[in-house]
Amino acid sequence: MQNLLALLYLASAVLFILSLRGLSSPLTARRGNLYGMTGMALAVMTTFFVADSPVIWLIVAAIAAGAVVGAWKARTVAMTAMPELVAAMHSLVGLSAVLIAVAAVYHAGVSHSGVQKIELFIGAFIGAITFTASVIAYGKLSGKFGARAINFKGQHLLNLLLALTMLGFGMAYFFTDSQAAFLMMVAIALALGVTLIIPIGGADMPVVVSMLNSYSGWAAAGIGFTLENPVLIIAGACVGASGAILSYIMCKAMNRSIVSVLLGGFGAEAATAGPAGSAQKNYRSGSADDAAFLMENAEKVIIIPGYGLAVSRAQHALQELTDLLTERGVDVRYAIHPVAGRMPGHMNVLLAEAEVPYDKVFEMEEINSEFGTADVALVIGANDVVNPAAKNDPASPIYGMPILDAYKARTVMVVKRSMNAGYAGLDNDLFYMDRTMMVFGDAKKVVEEMLQAVH
């Protein structure tokens, strides 16, 4: 029986790994999701046989409630709300790790070894930090708490004192088995999650969400050791490692270091940059008809989608426009920056929802060299990822960040509601170039007007 259970857990772990592999490409994403769901169902069913006298009705009720809420949220969540939904999910993973650790500590008649105590400590404090930090990230992304960084004098010293105090209570639990010390450690970790995230501005939130994803995985892995559950260890390690790798990739795409993101400061610095001087600069504006005429008579058009496209849900109208231009012989492609939108893959999912062919969507490294031969670069709702200051202004906070070279196209058209700064709070030199034409308005309305003009 034990060999069979071990085999089932191994099968679950393999399915989780295959799931991550499948999710690495849009072409295999559906299969990856199927692998993940199958692996989770197999792991849950196997756990019923491993658990000692489980309360079946309570577990089934919890699973049913979670399934109902999850199904409802999946059907109703807007694409613009996906980043905060991911942050909310991470908070639940962290909270689960904390509750499991507390239950293990309070489990009557069970004595934990020194190694298990360390595992409980690590899993609990990472889970607690993940929980409260994810709640704050959710609030910043959704606008409920505001995206501004909150900085105050001595914040790093406060974080250090909280971390040392947390470690002290953890040591007290290790040497005395004090349940009260363990609860105090958890409480301080919850507070530390808040103080670590509030100094981080909205511009860095995508990286933070990715890091929290990694934290939640390591928390699950830590608890897996205590429960002697191999599938929890493997799944948690996969999530933790993949989240850490993704965070590194995103930081590289933003020319930032993980340490500088976690210490905060960029969001606050950027927020003061604002578009203060934009009213004194000259820019050229045009209509949707002007934009449609230029695209209709172009040979190559590169479209750069951003968060504004998601907000207005203009992706379906944009794809109709793309199809029409393609029928007229125009070569239309999409360019995706690694941190476009509010989270990695946000724009890819948005375009997939509109059934944009995968062979028309290119990553930054693949398409940047083609902007110089493009007749039109159409920027819809994107800002910071096309800001030339990243290349030519050493004083800019985003200097050195790789960008999409939209400024190299013969004509640049920017669809935007106003001249306000983007998510990082920085004015964009691209808007004031001689070859740039601003088209003001809601993205969906503007694209629909372009579509009518091309017809």
Write the burial class of residue 383 (CB in 10 Å: 0-12 exposed, 13-18 middle, 19+ buried): buried
What DSSP element (H or E) covers 1? none
Which amino acid is present at 172?
A: A
**Dist. CA 379–CA 295, nearest whole Å:** 13
CB count in 10 Å sphere of residue 431 = 23
d(CA 313, CA 79): 8
Q: What is the rounded CA–CA span in Å between residue 188 and residue 125?
A: 9
- Residue holding tokens 């191999």? 230
Contact criterion met (CB below 8 Å) for 249 and 338? yes
Burial of 193 (0-12, 13-18, 19+ CB in 10 A): buried
Write down the H helix ranges in 177-227: 179-197, 205-227
Q: Which residues contact 283 (CB under 8 A, 6 or more apart)?
A: 419, 431, 432, 436, 438
| Beta bridge partner(s), residue 440 | 416
Catalytic residue set: 384
Measure the CA–CA gap between 162 and 180, rounded to whole angstroms: 17
